[in-house]
């Protein structure tokens, strides 16, 4: 309700209202995931999940990869905190013969399991179920250090199984994130991998349907009936959706052109009988493409009343000029 009132007030008193980026230092919450954080050592399980695990498998004594904020045990190794009770880098220390707990970075899963097997330890390991690890599990070497031949063999097997190109890309991204890489850089940048992915895309091209999957006549029929009609009784949300749809269909304009439109009185002009409207782009609007020229839009009403036939009345129900006029004069206190 508050957002709707703000939008309606802005449409009358402001030339435009749009979202703009702010510095990450002022937007820590929303900016956290987009910048690649939190770090591996900052991840933690929900307390209820931890309780269920402890109940089923027992209470571990040492957390191998933790920090002061997310440690599940009083004793823990840290990835970078020098003040951790047991020190930094668990793989560089001896581990006690007690029940251990680990939520390691992906690249450390293999060496963690290797250490556990070699020393005969018991561990509760939190890790994704990774198909590549299972496929590669018969090898005695570490998956994050495997050869290019092994990686290409795995990708080829996915291709032979008929996996979509997008699926193979996901597997490659996961491998690249965990692998130590090669001289030329990460796995995904290796020339052989690039050649393979290019060939895979040619064998399994991403097809885009040329015909819309929705029926225009069905949509127009739906917006001619409740809850989209009568316009004088619909909610602002329903009215907004219908107006935007009809303007997009009638104008066939690019989304940036439509985004540049405004119902401000300097941008939108109706004739006295509301049979025609001229929409001029908001001069304050800055398109993402600086070379894009937003042009004015002029629309005429389909069949304004009085009606001489049911067909004219049907056309009036899907008239963008009528919908826009109703939207423009929608009362703020509704």
Distances, alpha carbon 28 to alpha carbons 38, 40, 68, 229, 277, in Å:
11, 18, 20, 44, 44
| Mean pLDDT, the chain, whole residue set | 81
**pLDDT in the model for residue 26:** 59
**pLDDT in the model for residue 1:** 62
**pLDDT in the model for residue 122:** 93
Beta bridge partners of 278: 269, 298
Q: What angle do CA 252, 258, 259 make, to 5 degrees?
A: 155
Q: What is the pLDDT of residues 179-216, one digit of tens each?
A: 777 877 888 888 999 999 999 999 888 777 666 677 88
Contact criterion met (CB below 8 Å) for 146 and 179: yes
**pLDDT in the model for residue 75:** 93
First-to-last C-alpha distance (Å) of the chain: 10
Question: Confidence class of residue 52 from pLDDT cuts 50, 70 and 90?
Answer: very high
More confident residue, 255 or 18: 255
Question: Confidence class of residue 99 from pLDDT cuts 50, 70 and 90?
Answer: very high
For the beta carbon of residue 22, count every other beta carbon within 10 angstroms: 10
CATH topology of domain 40-127: Rossmann fold (3.40.50)
**pLDDT in the model for residue 36:** 46
- DSSP assignment of 90-120 equals GGGSPPPSS-EEE---GGGHHHHHHHHHHHT
**pLDDT in the model for residue 37:** 46
- Taking 90 as the threshold, does the pLDDT of residue 60 lie above it? yes
- Taking 80 as the threshold, does the pLDDT of residue 6 lie above it? no
- Taking 60 as the threshold, does the pLDDT of residue 51 lie above it? yes
**Percent above pLDDT 70 for the chain:** 81
**pLDDT in the model for residue 95:** 92
Backbone angles phi, psi at 225, to 5 degrees: -125, 170
DSSP state of 304: P
Question: Confidence class of residue 31 from pLDDT cuts 50, 70 and 90?
Answer: low
More confident residue, 110 or 91: 91
DSSP state of 289: S
**pLDDT in the model for residue 256:** 76
Q: Helices in the chain by DSSP H: which ranges?
A: 2-13, 28-34, 47-57, 109-119, 131-136, 148-160, 165-178, 191-203, 216-222, 236-251, 255-259, 310-317, 320-328
Q: What is the pLDDT of residues 124-170, one digit of tens each?
A: 998 776 655 555 555 545 566 778 888 898 899 889 988 888 888 88
As given in the structure block, the two tokens for residue 70 are 């997310």
Q: What is the pLDDT of residues 239-257, one digit of tens each?
A: 999 999 998 998 888 887 8
Backbone angles phi, psi at 326, to 5 degrees: -65, -40
**pLDDT in the model for residue 69:** 85
Q: What is the pLDDT of residues 248-290, one digit of tens each?
A: 998 888 887 888 888 888 888 998 888 888 988 887 777 766 6
Q: How far apart are CA 223 and CA 274, in angstroms?
A: 21
**pLDDT in the model for residue 21:** 60
Per-domain residue ranges of the chain = 40-127, 132-203, 212-328
Question: Confidence class of residue 334 from pLDDT cuts 50, 70 and 90?
Answer: very low
As given in the structure block, the two tokens for residue 134 are 């299972």
Q: How far apart are CA 170 and CA 176, in angstroms?
A: 10
Spell out the residues 6+ positions from residue 27 whose beta carbon is closer than 8 angstroms to its own. none
- Taking 60 as the threshold, does the pLDDT of residue 324 lie above it? yes
Distances, alpha carbon 237 to alpha carbons 3, 114, 234, 244, 330, in Å:
11, 58, 8, 11, 11
How remote is the C-alpha of 76 from its chain's centroid? 35
């Amino acid at each position: 309700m508050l957002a709707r009132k703000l939008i309606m007030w802005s449409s009358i008193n402001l030339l435009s209202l749009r979202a703009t980026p702010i510095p990450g230092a002022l937007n820590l919450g929303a900016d956290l995931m987009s910048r690649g954080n939190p770090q591996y050592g900052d991840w933690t399980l929900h307390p209820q999940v931890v309780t269920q695990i402890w109940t089923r498998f027992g209470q571990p004594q040492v957390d191998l990869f933790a920090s002061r904020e997310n440690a599940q045990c009083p004793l823990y190794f840290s990835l970078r905190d020098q003040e951790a009770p047991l020190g930094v880098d668990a793989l560089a220390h001896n581990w006690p013969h007690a029940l251990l707990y680990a939520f390691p970075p992906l690249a450390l899963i293999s060496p963690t399991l290797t250490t556990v097997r070699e020393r005969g330890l018991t561990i509760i390991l939190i890790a994704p179920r990774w198909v590549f690890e299972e496929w590669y599990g018969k090898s005695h070497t570490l998956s994050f250090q495997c050869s290019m031949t092994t990686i290409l063999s795995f990708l080829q097997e996915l291709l032979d199984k008929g996996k979509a190109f997008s699926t193979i890309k996901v597997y490659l991204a996961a491998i690249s994130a965990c692998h130590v890489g090669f001289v030329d850089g990460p796995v995904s940048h290796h020339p052989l991998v690039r050649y393979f992915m290019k060939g895979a895309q040619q064998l399994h091209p991403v097809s885009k349907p040329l015909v819309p999957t929705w029926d225009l006549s069905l949509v127009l029929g739906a917006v001619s009936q409740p809850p989209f009609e009568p316009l004088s009784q619909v909610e602002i949300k329903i009215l907004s959706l219908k107006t935007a749809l009809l303007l997009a269909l009638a104008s066939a304009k690019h989304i940036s052109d439509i985004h540049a439109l405004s119902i401000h009185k300097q941008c939108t002009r109706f004739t006295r009988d509301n049979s025609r409207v001229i929409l001029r782009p908001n001069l304050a609007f800055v398109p993402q493409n600086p070379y894009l020229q937003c042009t004015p839009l002029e629309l005429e009403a389909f069949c304004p009343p009085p009606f001489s036939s049911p067909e004219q009345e049907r056309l009036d129900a899907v008239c963008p000029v009528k919908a826009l006029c109703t939207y423009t004069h929608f009362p703020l206190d509704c």
